[in-house]
Amino acid sequence: MTEDANPGTVVKTLDLWDGSPPQFGPAGASAKLAVFAGGAPEGEQAEVWAQAQTLTQPGMVFGLDPAAGYSGLVHGKKAATIYTSDVYSEGVPIQFGADFHSTYVKDWLRFVGVTEVTEVRFQPTILTATPDQDRAAALTAARDAGKAF
């Protein structure tokens, strides 16, 4: 969709279920501390650090100042988030779940410095009678969001 409106746009998808997040462990923690201290990881730490750079790490997407705290390093970027679910939806009783996914993603985007975020939801719960209309509305919203990139 985005590619149709803006052929040069790069769309990145994070699939949390594909099993690809790298292992971090003690070597990764040591590498991270080395980076925080202004050094460069070496040996096993360097190998783990190279894999870990696909995640949120200091100096790549956030900085840490001892006096001012964390600051995002991702500026001038836009994000579009698309949330789906089969039971939870905004406005349903708490017995049908809570919105942990979008609150986490919004907080992470803010943490790294992304302030322009378009949110699209397709959450045709078992409680709604209009899943086809909800899907059409979500597709339209996604196409419109793509045009802004």
HEC profile for the chain? CHHHHCCCCCCCCCCCCCCCCCCCHHHHHHHHHHHHCCCCCCCHHHHHHHHHCCCCCECCCEEEECCCEEEECCCCCEEEEEEECCCCCCCCCHHHCCCHHHHHHHHHHHHHCCCEEEEEEECCCCCCCCHHHHHHHHHHHHHHHHHCC
Q: CA-CA distances (angstroms) from residue 127 to 22, 86, 90, 139?
A: 38, 9, 11, 20
Decide if 107 contacts 62 (C-beta within 8 A). Answer: no
**Per-residue model confidence as pLDDT tens digits over 79-126:** 999 998 877 888 888 888 888 889 999 999 999 999 999 999 988 777
Q: Could you report the per-residue pLDDT of 7-62, keeping only the tens digit for each?
A: 787 777 766 667 666 677 888 888 888 887 888 999 999 988 888 877 877 788 88
Q: 62 pairs with which residues across the strands?
A: 58, 72
CA distance linking residue 24 with residue 49, whole number of Å: 8
* pLDDT confidence bin for 67, thresholds 50/70/90: very high
